[in-house]
Amino acid sequence: MAPKEPKHLDLNGNEFQLPTFTMKEIHDAIPPHCFKPSVLRSMAYVVRDYFYLSTLIYLAVTYIPLLPNVYLRFAAWAAYTTVQGFVFTGIWILAHECGHGGFSKHKKLNYTMGLIMHSFLLVPFHSWRISHSQHHKATGNIDKDTAFVPHTRESWVKTNFGEKAKANMIEFAELAEDSPIVALWHDVVHQVFGWPGYLLFNLTGQKYQGKKGLKIMHFYFGEDSVFFKKSELPLIMLSDLGVAIMIGLLVVAGQIFGSWNVIVLWGVPWLWVNNWIVAITFLQHTDASMPHYDNKTWTFARGATATIDRDLGFIDTHLFHDIIGTHVCHHLVSTIPFYHAGEASVHIKRVMGQHYRADVKTPFWTAFWKNQRTCKFVEETAGAEGTGVYMYRNLNNRAGETQPQRLAVGEKAEVKESKSSMATAMASSRNLDARRRLSQSAQLRANLPLLADG
């Protein structure tokens, strides 16, 4: 008898099967006109978005100061910054189109428009374009991907409980779950600073053998950069110059119109861009059903479909240029312009069948909150070790979820050993909430089982 094929279970207990379609089948299914960008149409979207931007500024500075009540003025400014944040994000996405070549067939036009639009948002266009290209070439590859690379169980434990912590020294699975207030605080920090953190410190990226400092910064143009080749360094300097010019313009604008006005009219919407880019990218690549692969199992087709489409209604289809609802298509063929991606997705789904992932029922922020709290690290399914297929897990022992490997409760430890293990976890923990609950647990129950060795 032939040996049984190992089963891969996602976090919800559903069986995951490896994709079997080919990229040729994908390309052949897409109508030829979907591959052809229109300069006129792409430029029209740029003009439209900057018209929205200018109109919002005009309405804000003209009419909000006339409101008779400080509360009304505050509400109006909050509405302005939120909507302007949508528009700014749309401009970011148009520059993203330029980086992929989906804006036009003309490289010089793509690079010029991308540099202008991304510099406006303090993004080093070519630096991001090059590293983002590496992300697309290795999506879902835990060894080579460059963005939102998931933790393994070991790295997650060490990140949260210190370098000396071991998975089997964490006292209880529930200690791994943040309290809602801690999770909310983490999310706020993550959303506001995650995007600049990626550009400056390579947060959520590959570890690159532990390299730190300038070498992992997107603004760095030294030959020892982990991202860029020597021949690309002039483009990195050009990108830095674009960002520097924009910073200079903001300083001048602050001197002319007042720093507070610049902060409200440009700065707060820019913070909204940080929020949206991180949230969108996180949810495109993080889900209970999402696989990751090691280098020996990964293929481009498998990695490109290790992403998911979601729904944000009018905001996505009109202001975000459908980047949320057609992301699977975007990873399969990233040169398709966004205004053809919806049509192309219809044909792609017929080829992909069960391998196409979409969650259009769960509200966007509900999905964000849920996945932040449940998708903690990836590992192979028990019984499928060595296959190179990794699914999301956590240590929280929630009902209905696939449990991680080596989470079986072993024999009860002696009181002394239990206390020693708990003290080790407490001493190394960088999670204040986990420490607090660990201390409470030690007071209530001195003799409790540890996570068993694998």
pLDDT tens for residues 234-255?
A: 999 999 999 999 999 999 999 9
Query: Over the stretch 287-304, which tens digit does the pLDDT of each residue have?
Result: 999 999 999 999 999 999
Distance CA 361, CA 290 (A): 17
Joined together, the tokens standing for residue 17 give 């099967």
Helix (H, G, I), strand (E, B) or coil at 442: helix
Quick one: pLDDT band at residue 258, thresholds 50, 70, 90?
very high
State the pTM of this model. 0.85
Distance CA 254, CA 200 (A): 25
Query: Over the stretch 379-420, which tens digit does the pLDDT of each residue have?
Result: 999 989 999 999 999 888 788 899 888 643 333 333 334 334
Task: Please provide the DSSP assignment of 29-79 as one string.
Answer: HS-GGGG---HHHHHHHHHHHHHHHHHHHHHHHHHGGG-S-HHHHHHHHHH
Q: Are 316 and 82 in contact (CB under 8 A)?
A: no
Q: Are 39 and 109 in contact (CB under 8 A)?
A: yes
Distance CA 38, CA 33 (A): 10
Distance CA 82, CA 347 (A): 35
* Least confident segment among 51-55, 130-134, 313-317, 426-430: 426-430
3-state secondary structure 373-411: HHCCEEEECCCCCCCCEEEEECCCCCCCCCCCCCCCECC
Query: What pLDDT was estimated at residue 185?
Result: 76
Please state the rounded mean pLDDT for residues 353-376. Answer: 93
Joined together, the tokens standing for residue 421 give 């293990």
Distance CA 450, CA 454 (A): 12
Helix (H) or strand (E) holding 359: strand 358-359
Residue spans of alpha helices (H) in 173-292 = 180-201, 233-257, 259-262, 268-285
Query: What pLDDT was estimated at residue 287?
Result: 96
Joined together, the tokens standing for residue 169 give 């020294």
How many helices (H) and strands (E) in the chain?
17, 7
Backbone φ and ψ for 440, nearest 5 degrees, come out as: -60, -40
Distance CA 282, CA 327 (A): 12
Distance CA 291, CA 244 (A): 39
Give 378's strand partners.
152, 392
Helix (H, G, I), strand (E, B) or coil at 294: coil
Query: What pLDDT was estimated at residue 286?
Result: 95
Across the chain, mean pLDDT equals 86
Query: Over the stretch 131-184, which tens digit does the pLDDT of each residue have?
Result: 999 999 999 999 999 888 899 888 887 877 777 666 555 554 445 556 677 777
